[in-house]
Structure 1
């Protein structure tokens, strides 16, 4: 049976980075009995170059949503550059990562998944200038839609139509959804599929 939970900025939780280098804002997290989490969606502000915290046993997906972009050096490999609203970049949580904003501070969205239990996707949502984007179809045991700017429209598989204003999220379980992105609106969609 599908379930839908609205999350407002009051539901967000500010959490220090494990390495002490900053603070992340948890949009939603699913804890497990052993103290770990099954998945987590969060937003972090990166103001200067530095290392990422290590999350052994997790897969991470990251996308820049504010600012110019960043360069990531993962496990000694040549740097990979990601610009604002580029497709998400995936890497193992235990890998040493050095992050460098390309032109001033950035904000990024992270989806972390317990590798043994879940897979998923993180999709930035944006419309071309002055146009409505084609709808993004999402399916998974968990789908989180977060609006960054403007108002997104989410249609659940039962036909229910819901609005998601900037700064708010919808957490849907066991539901297929269509996310529509009006002109000037932006958001992200995280999909979690259990193994």
Structure 2
């Protein structure tokens, strides 16, 4: 059954990093029933979307069995070295970078503190995409598809359209969680707006 749930900052949850290096803000998560626990007693999840603040260089926590997509939404950018490979540079509002959750990752901000968005996916059960949208230059539109689509506004107001339904507005700091949509979800960032779209497809 299709559903659309609005999420406000009051629905967010602050979660400590596994390695003790900081705190992440969990926007939305779907847990896997009867799938056991992660280290530290966490419940294993199918997917999770979160935003983290990084103030300095350091390692990422390990998430074995997960695929991760990450993108910078505030600050200059960061360099990520995965399993000792040459660093990859991620710039603000640039394309998401994908890597295995169990990889050894070293992060170094390139110009002061940053904020990033993470989409984590249980590799055995789901695949997905993370797309950043900016209204700079006249606007941007994403035709999103998936069993689950999470849209979050970073600045301004995003416009969301679904087949056979009325357009919905998502203001800055808020999210829209869509499930079971039959067709593509149109996500528009008009001039002055910024946001991102996480798409999850069950395997």
Fold in common (TM above 0.5)? yes
Query: Are residues 1:89 and 2:97 paired?
Result: yes
CA distance in 2, matches of 1:124, 1:177: 15
Matches within 5 A, 1:102-141: 102-129=110-137, 131-133=138-140, 135-141=141-147
Corresponding residue for 1:155? 161
Corresponding residue for 1:5? 5
Tell me the SS of whatever aligns to 2:10.
helix
Query: Are residues 1:44 and 2:64 paired?
Result: no
Once the two structures are TM-superposed, the CA of residue 94 in structure 1 deviates from its matched residue by 0.1
- Number of residue pairs matched by the alignment: 193
CA distance in 1, matches of 2:133, 2:139: 11
Q: CA RMSD in A?
A: 0.8
Once the two structures are TM-superposed, the CA of residue 157 in structure 1 deviates from its matched residue by 1.8
Once the two structures are TM-superposed, the CA of residue 19 in structure 1 deviates from its matched residue by 0.4
Once the two structures are TM-superposed, the CA of residue 127 in structure 1 deviates from its matched residue by 1.9
Runs (5+) with no aligned partner, structure 2: 36-42
CA distance in 2, matches of 1:179, 1:163: 10
Once the two structures are TM-superposed, the CA of residue 158 in structure 1 deviates from its matched residue by 2.1
Query: Are residues 1:194 and 2:202 paired?
Result: yes
CA distance in 1, matches of 2:139, 2:68: 29
Once the two structures are TM-superposed, the CA of residue 159 in structure 1 deviates from its matched residue by 2.6
CA distance in 2, matches of 1:178, 1:30: 23
TM-score (norm 2): 0.93
CA distance in 2, matches of 1:7, 1:149: 15
Q: 4+ residue runs of structure 1 moved beyond 3 angstroms?
A: none
TM-score (norm 1): 0.97
